[in-house]
Amino acid sequence: MSWNNRIKIAVGAARGIEYLHCKANPPVIYRDLKSANILLDNDFNPKLSDFGLAKLGPVGDNTHVSTRVMGTYGYCAPEYAMSGKLTLKSDIYCFGVVLLELITGRKAIDTSKKHGEQNLVSWSRPYLKDQKKFSLLVDPLIRGCYPRRCLNYAIAITAMCLNEEANFRPLIGDIVVALEYLASQSQNWSPESRNVEVCNASQSSPMRSEKGTPHQSNSKRG
Active site residues: 32
DSSP 30-70: -----GGGEEE-TT--EEE---TT-EE---TT---EE----
Side chain identity at residue 114, one-letter code: K
Instruction: Round to whole Å and give the CA distance between 71 and 108.
Output: 13
Q: 176 CB contacts (<8 Å, ≥6 apart)?
A: 11, 14, 15, 18
Contacts of 191 (CB under 8 A, 6+ apart): 144, 145, 198
Task: Find the DSSP H helices in the chain.
Answer: 3-18, 78-83, 88-104, 120-128, 148-161, 172-187
Distance (Å, whole) CA 15 – CA 192? 31
CA dihedral 147, 150, 154, 160 (to 10 degrees): 140
